[in-house]
Amino acid sequence: MVKRTSWSAGLVVSGDGSGVVAHAGSVAVRLLADRVGLTDALSGALRRSGFVPGHDRGRVLADVATMLVAGGEAIADIDTLRHQEEVLGPVASPPTVWRALDELSPACLKRVAAARAKTRARVWDLLPGGLPAARVADTTLPAGLVVLDVDATIVVAHSEKEHAAPTFKKTFGYHPIGVWCDNTGELLAARLRPGNAGSNTAADHTAVLTEAIAQIPARHRRNLLIRVDGAGFSHELVDWFTALDTAKTHGRRGRSVEYSVGFAVTEPVREALKLVPKRAWTPAMDADGDVREHADIVEITGLLPTQLTEAWPAGMRVIVRRERPHPGAQLSLFEHADGWRYQAFATNTTTGQLAFLEARHRAHARVEDGIRHAKDTGLGRFPSREYGINTAWLLATAIAADLTAWLRLLALPETLKTCEPKALRYRFLHIPARLTRSARRKHLRLPETWPWTKAAVAAFTAIMAIPQLT
């Protein structure tokens, strides 16, 4: 009888290996940052007259983002890249990273934002087939329409940190807000806020959206769709969207801004719903574009009180969805009366079926994936007691999200493209390799028996094929 532990007979473990690279896939991320011009752009943005650091600050910031893509959670995790010095060359130490993040003043952050926008324009030019179209209910949205999703999230702090505060969820920490591009998965802009910052603070929404729109290459800014959930809705925000929509005020050459925002089911809305004829309700769509059972849609704009509709911008429509609630759902007294759960949203889109517009609005839920991925890539914890360093960390998180998105868009084959961050690390970023040298060349040898080696080699090949900026 063979013992189940016989495989370990004679096994010896030592720490004297050489030429081994533990996280070889992260080399691809760093290489991507260089090839698309991000590292050089960051270096130029952070260059200071009379200051010659031992480690270029643009390289340090790009390396922190690379470390976050590979799963780093603390500044000390930069040592996972220092381990790869034979491949990457000198990498900053944790104390140097601390200093580099601490040096990112508000003026530096603006220059970094400009560098990111410049790099993003080049990446979008490199996209095979151009900018991907967003999809809703198994349907492609119009080509050239850039979809922006805004949302905020709670990040719990487990120790005293500057400006950390109690949150509306009875926790303690920060309440950052961000804007994701649904077409590409990029985190265009993010702002760190105290934990007690409001969910529907119009000033924060307009500020982060202004930064996000500035990140979009100029020729792609003409047709925008901005989606916000009900928590972020405010009158001021809708007015701001209307002011942005210059196509209606200055002719066809202006910018077209469509919005789709959650709308509170208030007393006027409930009174309007009582006036809706049964035949007016039409079936809702599910995520595949099919009819969703026990869910209906209706527009109530014309049933709302005149004094209410006149207070809102011209062209705003209010659409309501009703659905049979799931067991255990908490309902209002109004909903208890007829057994339906109601949700409303407002939009200035004048064309398309109601069911499709409602499905388009519900697709905003994809931003939760962006938040979850960001929390898996640096956003889940802030490393410092100082608010300024944590703000810089959030910037590095946004850059890491961009690098992950660009990796999917420009390099990853289908077997890796749809992986969640943890799976991508398990299959590709943390793949081990052996480094050999011959004829003045470095050869990174990935294990032949690893199930995803061919996909990993294909990703490296695609990145190396990106033409370098001269």
**Tens digits of residue pLDDT in 108-129:** 999 999 999 999 999 999 999 8
User: What are the residue ranges of helices labelled H in 216-362?
Assistant: 235-244, 246-250, 267-274, 306-309, 333-338, 354-362
Q: Are residues 209 and 71 in the same domain?
A: no
**In sequence order, which ranges of 10-126 are alpha helices (DSSP H)?**
25-35, 38-46, 57-69, 79-82, 85-88, 94-102, 106-126
pLDDT at position 337 is 63
- The predicted pLDDT at position 90 comes to 93
Give the percent of the chain with pLDDT over 70.
Answer: 96
Query: Does 249 or 65 have the greater pLDDT score?
Result: 65
Q: Which residues pair with 320 in a beta bridge?
A: 298, 344
pLDDT at 415 (0 to 100): 93
More confident call, 152 vs 233: 152
Q: How far is CA 56 from CA 34, 67, 156, 330, 402, in A?
A: 13, 16, 32, 55, 21
Q: What is the mean pLDDT of residues 358-365?
A: 94
Residues 156 and 215 in one domain: yes
**Model confidence over 158-190: pLDDT tens digits?**
888 999 999 999 999 999 999 999 999 999 999
Residues 366 and 388 in one domain: no
By DSSP bridging, strand 139-140 and strand 187-191 are unpaired
Q: Residue 416 and residue 388: Cα distance in Å, rounded?
A: 35
Mean pLDDT of the chain: 91
| Residue 160 DSSP class | -
442 with 293, same domain: the answer is no
The pLDDT of residue 352: 87
Give the residue from 338, 371, 404 where a domain finishes.
371
Residue-number span of the structural domain to which 341 is assigned: 134-371
CA torsion 394→395→401→403, rounded to 10°? -150
Residue 333 pLDDT grade (very low, low, confident, very high; cuts 50, 70, 90): low
The mean pLDDT of 429-443, rounded to a whole number, is 90
Question: Given this model, what pLDDT does residue 247 score?
Answer: 60
Q: Do 155 and 83 fall within a single domain?
A: no
pLDDT tens digits for range 279-329: 999 999 988 788 888 899 999 999 999 888 888 998 899 999 998 877 666
* Residue 405 confidence (pLDDT): 97
Q: Are residues 232 and 323 in the same domain?
A: yes
**Across residues 210-239, what is the average pLDDT?**
94
Total count of domains within the chain = 2
- Residue 272's CATH number: 3.90.350
Q: How confident is the model at residue 236 (pLDDT cuts 50, 70, 90)?
A: very high
Kindly tell me if the per-residue pLDDT of 250 is higher than 60: no
**End-to-end CA gap in the chain:** 66
pLDDT score recorded for residue 296:
92
User: What percent of the chain clears pLDDT 90, i.e. is strictly above it?
Assistant: 73
Residues 345 and 418 in one domain: no
Looking at the fold, whether 364 and 396 belong to one and the same domain comes out as no
* Residue 3: pLDDT over 70: no
- Strands in 441-445's sheet, in edge-to-edge order, are 20-21, 433-438, 441-445
Mean pLDDT of 342-364: 93
Q: Confirm whether 332 is domain-assigned.
A: yes
- Report if residue 267 sits inside a domain: yes
Indicate if 326 and 241 belong to the same structural domain: yes
